[in-house]
Amino acid sequence: MANENLRKIEGRSVLRMERQLRHPPEKVWRALTDPAELIHWFPASVQLEPRIGSRVEYQMDGEPGGDGQVLEFDPARVFAITWSGEVLRWELLPTDDGCLLVLTHTFDDHFGAASFASGWTLCLDALDQRLLGKPTDIAPDTGELHDRFLELLNLNQGTAEQTPDGWTIRFERQLTRPADTVRPLLASYQDPDVHYELTQGTGHGARLVLTQTGLPTPDKALATWRERLNALATNLLKTPPAE
């Protein structure tokens, strides 16, 4: 987890991940573009034609899972497709003992990035196993990997804004458990100036948006809530993940 970063480019979030693979680019290319290979490691089954502009169809658990098109198709070098408005781009860079795979994922849900990063990590683990000719049964993330990415990608910092009525701080955080599990743990945080909202987030977890208003200065409150929400995330890991 040393070569991942998250940026904003032209208003969209761009997650970049690297994976060094001890396989030639030609072998990896087939695993990236052949639907019969994708099914072993990609999060959906895929139907596509190997040419720019062709339609891409996705299925998840036997149901339609969105569509897209092929944006780039440069054999053994670059493959890019869209998926329901998001962009997935793979680039293969030859190395002395294989190739460097660079995945770039462009999307709108900035605070879902830790979920995307942890999911792609498991997918790339399965891809590597497939390339080695081994079973691709990778254990699902129980939340620890997600929360490590949340910190690594600076998604737990919070923001502050000065208003005529004082400072307002805001945290938006993807959690690893559903709202019914989260809500009792938030009960101790009741305060007239603190408001929180729980909605369905990325995957099985809830999305928490927390604001505190009327503050004379923001720094202490940001540090306090950062610590509290980190503790909340740690406590959530002690509960069984949703099926």
Task: Kindly write down the DSSP assignment for every residue of 155-175, as one continuous string.
Answer: -SS-EEEEETTEEEEEEEEE-
Q: What is the pLDDT along the chain (243 residues), one digit of tens a residue?
A: 558 999 999 999 999 999 999 999 999 999 999 999 999 999 999 999 999 999 999 999 889 999 999 999 999 999 999 999 999 999 999 999 999 999 999 999 999 999 999 999 999 999 999 999 999 999 999 999 999 999 999 999 999 999 999 999 999 999 999 999 999 988 877 788 899 999 999 888 999 999 999 999 999 999 999 999 999 999 999 988 766
Residue 81 placed within a domain: yes
Which residues have a Cβ under 8 Å from the Cβ of 238 and sit 6 or more positions away? none
123 and 165 part of one domain: no
Provide the CATH number for the domain around residue 161.
3.30.70
- Which of 146, 173, 201 is the C-terminal boundary of a domain? 146
Which amino acid does the sequence have at 34? D
- Which of 93, 117, 146 is the C-terminal boundary of a domain? 146
**What pTM was estimated for this model as a whole?**
0.94
